[in-house]
């Protein structure tokens, strides 16, 4: 990589020797030794770099499982990047999408003492003054945050979502790495240019920093609550604003069953097909009525309550549609529903013009 004045900067200077070494160890452990040499080998001769590049090309594109395992071992930032990639069926083959969808933030939890320190520093009081009880074992450990069940002095059960300590610095460092690697991939491989490797990193950067601000997520929850205040099918958790900060979010704890646990739903007398229809109606309203939608709707984020309502949680990743895009989407869906394929073609025909104006 070169600076504006032409000075050459090595990968090690960008990332720091320790991080570079750790990433190279992960790549080598999973059989990506050639990639490791190529990405970090700014000191290699032109002939050697050409040989390494040829070996990479001859080895074929890595299997979906190998890519997933590498992303898992590279840590939180790369897990989130893999999750973003899993939503891009327009770019990646189905086998890769299916494998990357397994990246559901199944990462080890940090110690409760670290979580307690974040809570006390953010809310400016001892944890014993905030909660009557706070369980030390996390109920969910994601790549950028983890969740603990707690009980307020009023007796209400709440979910306490806490940003992992030190995660912002790690993500900032890893994004620099992603830009470096995506630039090299686009420069040296046609496939990298076709999929737009750098644009994927830009999209990731836009979403990940929103996830690091609990005020943004709390605001998203509040907007969803307003949008669905007239619904007797959807339940949005209540935010405790007085116990929420940039790194801590305290909200109503929603008890229930994940929507993909079909046998458990039937056991409590709930029809899974009706739940699927509720989800479809909800998402249709989000897209076509509000233009404000939950962009990470996997089963762990959708809880079926005992009374049959569907509770939605985890509002860190949200999507937006303007009025024109909402019109295109509604015409597309309506055209398919009514078998009016002229309407479908018209909606699809307008899409390139829309992207010209927005990209």
Residues with catalytic roles: 296
Give the Å distances, CA to CA, from 7 to 2, 4, 102, 183, 212: 5, 7, 41, 17, 34
Give the chain's length.
359
- In the beta sheet, which residues pair with residue 303? 258, 311
Q: Are 76 and 171 in contact (CB under 8 A)?
A: yes
Q: Sort 231 into a burial class: Cβ within 10 Å, 0-12 / 13-18 / 19+.
A: middle
Angle between helices 33-40 and 46-58 (to 10 degrees): 150
Q: Do 162 and 148 meet the contact criterion of CB atoms below 8 Å apart?
A: yes
CA distance 156 to 159: 10
Q: Could you give the residue ranges of the DSSP H alpha helices within 6-162?
A: 11-15, 17-29, 33-40, 46-58, 64-74, 76-85, 94-100, 112-123, 127-130
For the record, the structure tokens of 98 come out as 């299916």
- Contacts of residue 354, defined as CB under 8 A and 6 or more positions apart, other chains included, come to 324, 325, 328
Maximal C-alpha separation, the chain: 71
């Amino acid at each position: 990589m070169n600076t504006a004045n032409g000075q050459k900067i090595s990968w090690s200077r960008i990332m720091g020797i320790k991080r570079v070494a750790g990433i190279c160890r992960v790549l080598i452990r999973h059989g990506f030794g050639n990639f490791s040499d190529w990405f970090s080998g700014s000191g290699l001769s032109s002939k050697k770099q050409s040989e390494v590049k040829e070996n990479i090309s001859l080895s074929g594109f890595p299997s979906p499982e190998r890519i997933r395992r590498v992303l898992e071992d590279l840590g939180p930032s790369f897990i989130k990047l893999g999750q973003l990639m899993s939503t891009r069926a327009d770019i990646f083959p189905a086998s890769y999408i299916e494998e990357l969808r397994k990246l559901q933030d199944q990462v080890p939890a940090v110690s409760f003492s670290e979580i307690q320190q974040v809570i006390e520093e953010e809310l400016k009081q001892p944890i014993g003054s905030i909660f009557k009880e706070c369980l030390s074992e996390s109920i969910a450990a994601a790549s950028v945050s983890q969740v603990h069940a707690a009980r307020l002095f009023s007796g209400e059960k709440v979910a306490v979502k806490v940003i992992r300590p030190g995660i912002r610095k790690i993500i900032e460092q890893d994004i620099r790495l992603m830009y470096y690697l995506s630039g090299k991939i686009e420069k040296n491989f046609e496939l990298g240019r076709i999929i737009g490797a750098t644009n994927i990193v830009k999209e990731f950067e836009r979403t990940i920093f929103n996830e690091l601000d609990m005020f943004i997520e709390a605001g998203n929850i509040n907007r969803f609550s307003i949008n669905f205040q007239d619904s007797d099918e959807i339940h949005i958790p209540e935010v405790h604003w007085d116990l929420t900060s940039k790194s801590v979010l305290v909200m109503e704890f929603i008890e229930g069953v994940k929507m993909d646990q079909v046998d458990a739903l039937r056991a409590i007398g709930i029809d899974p097909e009706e739940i699927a229809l509720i989800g479809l109606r909800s998402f249709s309203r989000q897209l076509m009525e509000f233009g404000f939608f939950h962009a990470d709707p996997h089963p762990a984020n959708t809880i079926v309550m005992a009374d049959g309502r569907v509770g939605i949680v985890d509002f860190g990743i949200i999507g937006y549609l303007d009025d024109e895009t909402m019109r295109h989407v509604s015409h597309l869906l309506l055209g398919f529903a009514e078998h009016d394929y002229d309407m479908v073609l018209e909606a699809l025909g307008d899409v390139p013009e829309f992207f010209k104006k927005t990209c």
